[in-house]
Structure 1
Amino acid sequence: MRKFVFILFLLLFGFSLASSQVIINEICSSNAESLLDEDYEASDWIELYNSGYSPVRLKDWRIYDKNNFEKAWVLPDTTIGAKSYLILFASDKNRISSGNYLIEAGGQGAVEWAKDDYFHYEYLKVAGDFDISVKIPFFQSGFFFGLAGLMLRDSLTARSKYISMNSKIQRRGSYFCLFREEQGKAPNRSHAVKPIQFPNVFVRLKRENDTVLAYLLLKNSFDWLNFGKFHYDNKDSVYLGIAISGTENGKLSKGLFKDLVLNGDTISFAKLNSFNNTNQIFYKRFYKELHTNFSLSKEGETVFLWNNKAELVDSLSFPELKADISYGRYPNGENEFAYFYPSTPSFENANPCYAFAEEPEFSIEAGWHSQELSLTFLNSKLEEKIYYTLNSSEPNENSFLFEGNPIEIDKTTIVRAKTYAENSVPSQTVSKSYFIEENTHKLPVVSVIVDSIDLWDRDRGIMNEANVFKKMEVEADFEFYEKDKSYPNFSGKAGMKLHGFTSRAPKYPQKSLSIIAKSRYALSKFEYPFFKDNSYETYDKLLLRNAGGDWGKAFLRDGFACKLALQMNLGASNYRPAVVYINGEYYGLQNLRERIDDDHISIKYAVSKKNLNLIEDKAVLLCGSRDSYLELLDFIENNDMSNPNQFKQVEKLVDLKSLINYFVFRIWSGIPDWPERNQKYWSSTDFDGKWRWVAYDSDIALGNNFNYINYSLFVLKDSTKMFSKMMIKLLENEQFKHYMLNGFAGIFATKLHKSNTIPLLESIAEQIKDEIPSQQKRWEGSVLDWENEIHAIKEFLLQRNYSVLSNLLTHYKLKGIGKIVCKLSNIEGGDFKLHDFERKDFLGGMKYFQCIPVTLEAVPKQGYEFVSWGNPLLPDSSCLRIAFDSAEVVLNPIFKLKENPEERTIIFNEIMYKSSKDLKCDDWVELYNTAEETIDISNWIFKDDDDSHIFLIPEGTSVKPKEYLVLCENEESFSNSYPNVKNYIGSFSFGLGRPDIVRLFDASNNLIDSVAYSHLSPWDENADGTGFSLELDKFNSDNNNPANWYASHIYGGTPGELNSEQVSVQEFEASSGIHFSCYPNPLSDYSTI
């Protein structure tokens, strides 16, 4: 009996002991590069540790970041060995297997031709022709020259004849093909300078008779890129499979393979034979990486672990963590906790830290100084030591130690400092540029600071010619200086890498740079108004471009073109010329730009990345899905676009105005490598799901390399290109063709008219003119004949419109171009639009193509109504779609005062279009009901200046007499900022610009009120980014007159209540605005006069 009781005690106690011996040992909630998962992503991770001497089965255990067993993530049937670790990626991916096949091997690989071919090989024997491909989601090697890929061999003997198509590690950034033509000979080597972008690496070998073709497939592309063609004598059978090698004997290379396809059939990795010729133990298995259904908070939280009996086994609370710093137990399994830097996933927790050293505090700010400086550090903690460098290198404990004596600076110097303390995580390096010279730069200045090893080293340097085509990123500090250069207006840490492709070539010694915000460098976003005319101030990336194909020429073509594109409401990268210094040395004139990617689209258009689709060129996927776009192309190709009902389906999927504006702009700019290249387009269900186009990369446009003044409509004559094919089919629709022609006529007479383009060109040229001599001195040949280049662009601008319009007349066999003569006798009553352009925007006369229907829309002012067009041949309708046969039409629109003007009841009374950094309320507007009765505003529509930005006011919404209602961009942030305000609704999915127009329409789409405000004088500039709103002075004031608006006297404004200076009135009479909605509709009927 005692024996039975003892055994029972052991069983019960043993189970409890087994449960308690598995603990949460280490957590990294801000992983940057400490550990990459099989998707080549830096997911957060949790390390479990078995502190006991026996393995523990974890089937049905659970883990979660909340104390909720029912919702916790369930571990699969896996065992953690004694004194062993298990990594769980807290990635929110919720999976236990991806189907990836893991091979690990070491030794020196097939690259070393004078030695035996050290590699690990998984193969089949095949005969005859074949076509084999494989995906490589992940590859990691102990040395730069490790390889993973496909291999074809004559035999398994050393130095056999073979062909291999390989990927290198991502940092080396290229594909590598090897071909040994004869047994024992050195293999021929070929490099493909294409970016390695795990997990999207694909390689392929194809044999046809005695020829073997090697291919690679670029990320999200459709087309295999032929990399090499080799003569390979036909044999009855060969060895064919996947291979991995390192080039360092003492370290393992690790590769993951997926989707092995041979002759169209998927091959199971389990069917492959193994051959290993390395001096390391190798592993092969289907990889089971564990990913939880939750992620970790960088700010800190608690993680809970339960056994399969729902008993809480362990929990670990961790604080806010910086990038790649972990938090856990020290020593392993104990109840003392520490920080670990570097972190130690799957290894013993070592070198504990219990605090963070303070960053060095400089006594003098960076910038331009006219005299010598004596620099000190203001830190006072005796236990901390500050080490610094004066040569731009990263400081460490072997650098200069600051011992209290001032650092004398008598010439331009980069000072970098770092604080160390015992048992503490070292501080981040703080870097500052001190320019001891007179500031002569009128342009903004960007000072970049980076360790010279990361610039020029053979293996690490991004500017070393051996590495310029590789996808390598280094850490950098950058400072941004506006007009006053005595201090930086913005500074921070960032990632830096080379940007572009062609411009990396040796012919461009001045490289383009990409500055990237990442939390691992301290800043997840750049928050600063780098571009004053943008409505947003948040950026994930900034570019410092060398002007690409315009380097050595005008140095402004793309920036100038994008400024015009933005005026046309196209997506484009904003531009600002700037001067760049690298490590205190003048690097020259660069173009500060936005990077067009998913982050940019998400920020600019206030759409979530999870609902964003972004594509470039020939449907190469950048974000989201391309399925809907491919379905659109398929629909267009296989349906009759001249059928109005079929074309209506296209209207539901395409923003036709964006497409026409993009088409007109690209044709006008004359870019020779478009549309096959340099196009991006996007859609989002957060918007309306329609596809829109982005204009970018116009360096070789505007008459740069070719005489494109007279070469215009090539796109409409080449049906082999994806974009051209789509446009040719769409233009089978007569009404769409009319819309396109009117787009040319209207845009050429407004935004692309010489009266607008030439002054813009001259203003940009004037900005950079004084920097040209310094640029030429720094980079001989970069601006050889600058003034003549500017003159050449002017000639292009003078001739281009006439050339394109002539091409259109010839191509479509049109009668000619007519003009409208306007005699607006009572302009106080209203105005009108042609082609959806306001009359006042026409700079070169109001032009139209004869016999092509145009849209005329009368726009009466408040209190007026339209009477007639003052032309007996035209009907008295305020909105017409009509074709003019004559070369000239005279219009005299007539308006009259309404006999019984309606009372304007709901008005815009207050606008917060840009709060301060401290007031995180997001944008909002306040409505006021001036009437004596409650107004039901159900299904009314709020818009800004973009018709696609729509906020539908919910059913059942009303505003009581003399009361307010706030419409807010973000209900949560508004409520947090104004907890006492209850009369608000939201959230609208777009932000307000600076400047912008706010508009309110009733449920019948009648314009109720609108305000076109600005952040510049005569509008009150004190409401721009200060935290003070714009307030209307009186309810009965004209709220389109800037004199009637002022910046609130109360910080945060007065949402939902009386304005800070407003006088309440009982009687309010004003004329209502009536808006006749008549936008160009390519499907409407028309008449010819």
Structure 2
Amino acid sequence: MKKAACFILSLVLFNSLWAQQKPSGSSGEPLPVELSFSLEGGFYPDEVVVELSSPGAVIYYTIDGSTPSNLSLRYKRPLRLDRTSVLRAVAYHGDGRKSAVAGHTYFIGEPPTNLAVVSVGISPEFLFHPRSGLFMLGNNVVDTLWKKPGANFWSRSEYPCNVELFEADGRCAYRSQSGFRLFGGMSRLFPQKSIAIVARNRYGEPRIKHKVFGEQGLSKFKFLVLRNSGSDFGKSHFRDALMTGLVGGWDIDKQDHRPAHVYINGQYWGIYNIREKVNRYFIAGHHEEVDKDSIDLIEHRLTRKQGSTRHYRALLNFLETHSLADPANYAFVQSQMDVDNFMDYQIAQIYFDNRDAGGNIKFWRPRKPGGRWRWILYDTDWGFGLHDLDAYRHNSLAFHTAPDGPSWPNPPWSTFLLRKLLENKTFEQAFVNRFAGYLSTDFSEETVLNRIDSLYQGLVPEMPRHLDRWNLSRGKWEEEVAILREFAQERPSYVRMHLMSRFNTGPRRRLVVSASVGGRLIINDKISVSNDTVELVFFENYPVSIRAAAHHGYQLSRWEGIDANETQREFTLTLNKNTTRLHARFDEFVHPLEGKLVINEICPKNGKAGDWIELFNASRNRISLKGWTLGDLNRNEFVFPEAYIGPNDYLILARDSAKFVQAYPGAYNVLHGLDFGLNKRRESLALYSILGAMVDSISYEMPPADSSFTLNLLLPYLDNADPGNWEFRYGDGSPNAANPYYVESRVRNVQAQWMQMGLAAGVLLLSLILLALRQRGLLGANGA
């Protein structure tokens, strides 16, 4: 027992002495070992000399991409690098501590570029070992003509690596230790293989924190993909980027894109397309209100990637047993899936002639009451004539609605949803009109050719290196780009013929629309036309909706070109002649309620109450809002039903009625059914009168915020177009009540008034006392 006690005491004393000798921070944790490079990684015309330093430590390094350890080369003197190299190092202190692995890439004499550059440093054996390397066939491959099952490149293994991203100006924007794995399906068979980069705590940083895709893109990523262009490898090298870019303004989930030169262990590896990885992190990144751990994500037919398939199976069962010709059944389906999103998704796939759409399907919903299914557009490489020179002729509408297709590429289950939705006449009319509108705008020959030329011109000076690296032909690349151009030129007319053969559209009709300064036209809720004259092609049997939206300080004056009520802001137009011309005239106008009826408080993505907006009437009159509209950045509009707002009173627009009432049981004058949500990061809202005059508007752009917050107009009479007049406050807000700053300012004013009154009273009292003392002779005339 005594021996045990002595041993424990000795151990305690030893640990105490060791702790005293081992440097530690304020928390008691050992201090990290610092390791520094004398020269930042980057681009240099000639050889460089790099010194490594770590006081009191021994440094080990590698220049072949390997992860350094105490078995690597020991650093003794400055290193001279005369060719592009990834220098990785680690420092070991004598007390057992070691530094984090660090790496810098030195590009020596590399050609100039206008693209981003990505450098990957990884142990060569992970990629090139004959038996286990990811880029090798390995010993277990079945040497078939095509898929080569058992090959190493089908491995899902992940290995540590050093990753750096350099902007086109040579600046290193991101540098960290990360995870490396292969990515993709059949494209793994190509010599240039796609790579997924993964940020994890165990390597270095938990997120890649950089706006890789510019200011409008995300600022952090869990995964990034270096994509070899998929099935388009060896062809245009930007097919998928072209297609997803064409729908950039649509309400559809799609990946960002950026081309980059990639180096692996200092060796040039060609041009890759940097893309986001489609998974739960991608969804949560683009939908701030969504918890990545609370979604249902399904791939292909019913492969569960996250969450559950139960909700989707129930939807399929309903569709199989109910006709959507019944408006009530259609309304139920709209509550289960985002029908607008699905419509856009199908229109895009059909126009693209993506014949692999039945194989690349991903869709998701937030796992909460009211969560609806949305579809993700990705991996569209088989579109735009990948394997067929006259693909622009292909009737993709028939392909995507075939009830009896083969097991691949369009089995019956992959066309089922669209076939069912087309049972409903409302959906059919919206589908045909929207498709026709896109063929005249986002998918017009001019728009698509401009997009192709933009991508092509960006790659022209860069492609020779890539083509040489993979022994590809410049002539073949030019031929592939020509195929894209021909598709863009020919496709719209063929798709119109396909629509006419599938639906009772009637003849094609031209609608030529324009708007004067001061407003815009909105066609079929999707197409926006401002000052320019735009020619659209629709069909006689599908009437077109027209809406005028005035800019601030203007109002619709009249329509020119048709017999319509000149003050009617919105109407439906049947096109019964070859060409109809329509011009909207807007005149300067200041609405009498401008500055009096204001957007006073905004609460986006509130977990407890849902989205809501507060209006305040600062006038002395009761205002009828029937027929007024509130619109947002994505062209969504809420039309006010019968509604009034009293003088010096409030009105609330709530998106989720049940949640709002539960959160604010005492709230009054609440309009439920706001049919669009609010964005936490950036949003624009505008309030229009029944005649289309903009009465009030507000735009904001906010940093990321995890908690609920509101934006409050400081004082009702301030200009809410000025960001300085708004206040950001965490919490649940103050519906039907004055905003906190206004209340606080009133309190401060009252306090100041009382202080002034108190000071005046004190002076008066002191004067009376002095006067009384003088009268009694107790105080001299001079107050002494």
Same topology, TM > 0.5 = yes
Distance 1:907 1:579 in 2: 51
Distance 2:283 2:589 in 1: 45
Q: By how many angstroms is 1:426 displaced?
A: 2.5
- Kept in 2, the 8 Å contact 1:529–1:536? The answer is yes
Choose which of 331, 336, 342 in structure 2 pairs with 1:653.
336
Cα deviation 1:143-179 (Å, max 9, x = unaligned) = xxxxxxxxxxxxxxxxxxxxxxxxxxxxxxxxxxxxx
| Structure 1 SS opposite 2:365 | strand
Please state if 1:457 is matched with 2:129. yes
Choose which of 459, 470, 473 in structure 2 pairs with 1:768.
459
Distance 1:495 1:852 in 2: 53
Distance 1:946 1:830 in 2: 15
| TM-score, scaled to structure 2 | 0.73
Q: By how many angstroms is 1:489 displaced?
A: 1.4
| Structure 2 SS opposite 1:609 | coil
Q: Which residue of 2 aligns with 1:803?
A: 494
- Kept in 1, the 8 Å contact 2:227–2:273? The answer is yes
- Kept in 1, the 8 Å contact 2:552–2:693? The answer is no
Please state if 1:860 is matched with 2:550. yes
- Kept in 2, the 8 Å contact 1:568–1:751? The answer is no
- Kept in 2, the 8 Å contact 1:357–1:427? The answer is yes
Choose which of 263, 267, 281 in structure 2 pairs with 1:581.
263
Please state if 1:735 is matched with 2:426. yes
Distance 2:298 2:629 in 1: 31
- Kept in 2, the 8 Å contact 1:553–1:782? The answer is no
Q: Which residue of 1 aligns with 2:222?
A: 540
Distance 1:364 1:406 in 2: 11
List alignment gaps of at least 5 residues for structure 2: 20-27, 139-151, 405-410, 605-610, 639-644, 650-675, 706-710, 729-738, 743-784
For the structure 1 residues 556 and 836, does the alpha-carbon distance in structure 2 shift closer, same or farther, using more than 3 Å as the test?
Answer: closer
Q: By how many angstroms is 1:632 displaced?
A: 1.4
- Kept in 2, the 8 Å contact 1:447–1:480? The answer is yes
Q: Which residue of 1 aligns with 2:305?
A: 622
For the structure 1 residues 789 and 1056, does the alpha-carbon distance in structure 2 shift closer, same or farther, using more than 3 Å as the test?
Answer: farther
Please state if 1:494 is matched with 2:166. no
Identify which range, 468-477 or 811-820, moves more after superposition.
811-820
Cα deviation 1:706-746 (Å, max 9, x = unaligned) = 23211122112235422311211211111110010011111
Letter in 2 for 1:887: N
Letter in 2 for 1:514: A
Letter in 1 for 2:39: I
Q: How is 1:99-498 mapped onto 2 (pairs within 5 angstroms)? A: 355=30, 358-380=33-55, 382=56, 384-403=57-76, 405-466=77-138, 467-485=152-170, 487-498=171-182
| Structure 2 SS opposite 1:600 | helix
| Structure 2 SS opposite 1:591 | strand
| Structure 2 SS opposite 1:427 | coil
List alignment gaps of at least 5 residues for structure 1: 1-16, 18-50, 53-328, 340-352, 914-923, 951-956, 962-987, 1016-1022, 1059-1089
Distance 1:881 1:683 in 2: 34
For the structure 1 residues 928 and 362, does the alpha-carbon distance in structure 2 shift closer, same or farther, using more than 3 Å as the test?
Answer: farther
| Structure 1 SS opposite 2:696 | strand
Distance 1:388 1:1046 in 2: 53
| Structure 2 SS opposite 1:822 | strand
| Structure 2 SS opposite 1:884 | coil
| Structure 2 SS opposite 1:500 | coil
Distance 1:828 1:408 in 2: 65
| TM-score, scaled to structure 1 | 0.53
Q: Which residue of 1 aligns with 2:243?
A: 561
- Kept in 1, the 8 Å contact 2:33–2:97? The answer is no
Q: By how many angstroms is 1:895 displaced?
A: 5.5
For the structure 1 residues 945 and 354, does the alpha-carbon distance in structure 2 shift closer, same or farther, using more than 3 Å as the test?
Answer: closer
- Kept in 2, the 8 Å contact 1:613–1:626? The answer is yes
Q: By how many angstroms is 1:375 displaced?
A: 1.3
| Structure 2 SS opposite 1:845 | strand
Q: By how many angstroms is 1:430 displaced?
A: 0.9
Please state if 1:851 is matched with 2:536. no
Q: By how many angstroms is 1:442 displaced?
A: 1.6
Choose which of 696, 704, 707 in structure 2 pairs with 1:1009.
696
- Kept in 2, the 8 Å contact 1:479–1:490? The answer is yes
- Kept in 1, the 8 Å contact 2:51–2:79? The answer is yes
Q: Which residue of 2 aligns with 1:284?
A: none
Question: With CA pairs under 8 Å and 6+ residues apart, which has the higher RCO, 1 or 2?
Answer: 1
Q: By how many angstroms is 1:533 displaced?
A: 5.1
Cα deviation 1:431-488 (Å, max 9, x = unaligned) = 1111121442221000000011111224542222221111111111111011222x41
Distance 1:782 1:598 in 2: 39
| Structure 1 SS opposite 2:36 | coil
- Kept in 1, the 8 Å contact 2:130–2:136? The answer is yes
For the structure 1 residues 601 and 819, does the alpha-carbon distance in structure 2 shift closer, same or farther, using more than 3 Å as the test?
Answer: same
Q: Which residue of 1 aligns with 2:523?
A: 833
Q: By how many angstroms is 1:888 displaced?
A: 2.9
- Kept in 1, the 8 Å contact 2:335–2:372? The answer is yes
Please state if 1:591 is matched with 2:273. yes
- Kept in 2, the 8 Å contact 1:433–1:584? The answer is yes
- Kept in 2, the 8 Å contact 1:686–1:989? The answer is no
Count of residues paired in the alignment: 645
Distance 1:407 1:925 in 2: 62
Q: By how many angstroms is 1:654 displaced?
A: 2.0
Distance 1:615 1:559 in 2: 23
Distance 2:213 2:181 in 1: 22
Cα deviation 1:72-104 (Å, max 9, x = unaligned) = xxxxxxxxxxxxxxxxxxxxxxxxxxxxxxxxx
Please state if 1:945 is matched with 2:633. yes
Distance 1:948 1:851 in 2: 26
Q: By how many angstroms is 1:626 displaced?
A: 1.8
For the structure 1 residues 659 and 546, does the alpha-carbon distance in structure 2 shift closer, same or farther, using more than 3 Å as the test?
Answer: same
Q: By how many angstroms is 1:831 displaced?
A: 4.0
| Structure 1 SS opposite 2:451 | helix
Letter in 1 for 2:99: S
Distance 1:929 1:1047 in 2: 15
Cα deviation 1:748-781 (Å, max 9, x = unaligned) = 1121112221111111111111121111211113
More strand by share: 1
Distance 2:724 2:476 in 1: 49
| Structure 2 SS opposite 1:658 | helix
Please state if 1:509 is matched with 2:191. yes
Cα deviation 1:159-213 (Å, max 9, x = unaligned) = xxxxxxxxxxxxxxxxxxxxxxxxxxxxxxxxxxxxxxxxxxxxxxxxxxxxxxx
Distance 1:790 1:389 in 2: 42
| Structure 2 SS opposite 1:652 | helix
More helix by share: 2
Q: Which residue of 1 aligns with 2:213?
A: 531
- Identity among equivalent positions (%) equals 25
Distance 1:724 1:1057 in 2: 55
Q: By how many angstroms is 1:1000 displaced?
A: 6.7
Distance 2:309 2:601 in 1: 42
Q: Which residue of 1 aligns with 2:356?
A: 673
Please state if 1:519 is matched with 2:192. no
- Kept in 2, the 8 Å contact 1:496–1:515? The answer is yes
- Kept in 1, the 8 Å contact 2:596–2:717? The answer is no
Q: Which residue of 1 aligns with 2:684?
A: 997
Distance 1:435 1:423 in 2: 35
- Kept in 2, the 8 Å contact 1:355–1:423? The answer is no
Distance 1:388 1:843 in 2: 64
Cα deviation 1:261-317 (Å, max 9, x = unaligned) = xxxxxxxxxxxxxxxxxxxxxxxxxxxxxxxxxxxxxxxxxxxxxxxxxxxxxxxxx
Distance 2:313 2:307 in 1: 13
For the structure 1 residues 649 and 775, does the alpha-carbon distance in structure 2 shift closer, same or farther, using more than 3 Å as the test?
Answer: same
Distance 1:702 1:533 in 2: 29
Letter in 1 for 2:464: P
For the structure 1 residues 932 and 865, does the alpha-carbon distance in structure 2 shift closer, same or farther, using more than 3 Å as the test?
Answer: closer
| Structure 2 SS opposite 1:705 | coil
Identify which range, 677-686 or 701-710, moves more after superposition.
677-686
Letter in 2 for 1:997: S
For the structure 1 residues 406 and 959, does the alpha-carbon distance in structure 2 shift closer, same or farther, using more than 3 Å as the test?
Answer: farther
